[in-house]
A and B are shown apart, each in its own frame.
Chain A
Amino acid sequence: MTATFLILAAITIAGTVATMAMRNLVHCVLALTLGFAGLAALYLQLGAQFVGLTQILVYVGAVAILAVFVIMMTQKPAQTTESIFSSFWLAGSLIAALVFAVLGWAIVSSSTSSRPLPPQAEAAVRPIGDALMHRFVLPLEIMGLLLTAALIGAVVVAMQEKRGTA
């Protein structure tokens, strides 16, 4: 529990809480981005450079921008006036607390948490690359194929729409 960890944890929690509490949707996305960045900094602090930088590249760079685009294309920028709490917030928080308790109990009682951490836990880029290219090359290829299929599918859908309007 170093000072760096506390500061980064505070930033992450503040960002994610603000995401739920803000009224303006674009503000929500910006706050969420702050949460993502705090999480990435936590990864970096743990020595996981590849994971941390990929988190910034994918979540701050792509997901946040995508979310902003979607909000601006689907919604009017009108602000909501109703309360940010829904009418059944009590039941919701009860369920959330229950889920958290189950997850926490599962983590604490699992055998992995009692095992001592390996001394050199730094996840360097080279071992990750080696693992992806040798041991896990088939899952990687399947993922790539799936994403390419999704990309082509999106283009096909967009093209049909264009033909319909023309």
Chain B
Amino acid sequence: MSESLIEGPEAEASLVSARGLDKRFGLTRALQGVEFSARAGEIHAVLGENGAGKSTLMKILAGVIRPDAGELSLGGEAYQPNDPAAAQRAGVAIVHQEPQLCEHLTVSENMSLGAEQTRGGLLDRRAMEQHARRALQELLPDAEAMSIRPEQLLAELGPGPRQLVAIARALASADCRVLILDEPTSSLARSDVEHLFAALRRLRERGLCIVYISHFLEEVMRIADRYTVLRDGAAVGLGEVADATLDEWIRLMVGRDVRDLYPRSEHQSGEVALELDDVWTGAGGPAPLTLRRGEVLGIAGLVGAGRTELLRAVFGLDGVRRGQIRVGAYAGPASPAIRLNQGVGMLSEDRQAEGLAATMSIRDNIILSKLRAFVWPRRARREATRWIEKLDIACRDPDQRVGELSGGNQQKVALARLLRHDVDVLLLDEPTRGIDVASRAQIYGLIDDLASRGRAVLMVSSYLPELFGVCDRIAVMCRGRLGVARPVADLDPESVLHEAAVAS
């Protein structure tokens, strides 16, 4: 692995590069001899499964952590940032997956936070707002179209505009040359992604070097110029995006062929398990739906279309404005406890904040939804061990804290809870968000297996290939209104996108 992927001329063309980077955290080797090189005026994608070392590499570049060994260079000179501020002064800025901004401040205040402009000791609001407006317009000529106003509170903005504010803030710092984006699109709706891409292309034309980390390989195909693939803390591939294929990337990332990313067996559609009749939630309606045993039904749509709200209402987490939800023959009031009793389980889209109790052990998280009055830790540990083996969860032992696991393994723990509860109806909200390819393949396999054993699965996803790969039928939601569910064979991605984006 020490064979350098970076040849002589490449080294000369590069703006930022790394050689032989090593980094350890306790017993785990996060990076071992990573080689990396990105040029000015390119969008360079960094690919890899979770735990492959992408975040560690980016944190080193941005000065958040220091490598144990290896050297960095920037613009031909040695580069050793001691902290993020030093990296920023050198021209390297990072925008994290969840932008680190203050919700209670305005857009312009966020953008000049730490470098506020003052006049006579007082904040010069107008100068700050002009500065913010200019920065946003530079980034995106039609910033007005995205309705970002400098005097607006950040809390009023959606995730897409926030991402742009964070990027504008990063660029505003003195002559930024390298911009690192960590999973910038993971919480963005499709239209916001287009805005973002437009902005990134403009920045590329200005000669900026953009390092782009993403799980969404299709997106990377569209936006990036070159790529580096990391696996197990080492760089295993480097090349032009134009020459690459998805299959090749997946093979490089996983280290083996993932031929059946979406396994499919025969599903026998049975009796009705869940029926929604003229249901209105806080996000709108109506949402008619009939879910049968033995089928996987997908709900497509833009972020904010009301898909999560619908699942939450079905599970009894939020109230229903109008209409009726029937589980089997039951149509009474709902709460999570009642639904779980009826055999309905839900997987939350937000693993950290809702799906799992991060400070508790794997064992506790798996058994939490179904406990007897007395709990025997030894028995619970045995049971947890069984699920860990069954779902192939990579961990030290059942007593390890869930928060210490990678995203994919965390999601498997959350799924193990539902499987242990042996629910008949599974409500899955973005089940593979932020998860590596291998874990995704396993989860798809699980879903398929559940359906073939007569369980009903209702799945919300913003990732179309996955919906088409896994579901039997897909319904599209737009502004709270749920369309008719149609068999996958009768649909194509373009028509689904069209339906999701255009209210009929």
Whether chain B is bound by chain A comes out as: no
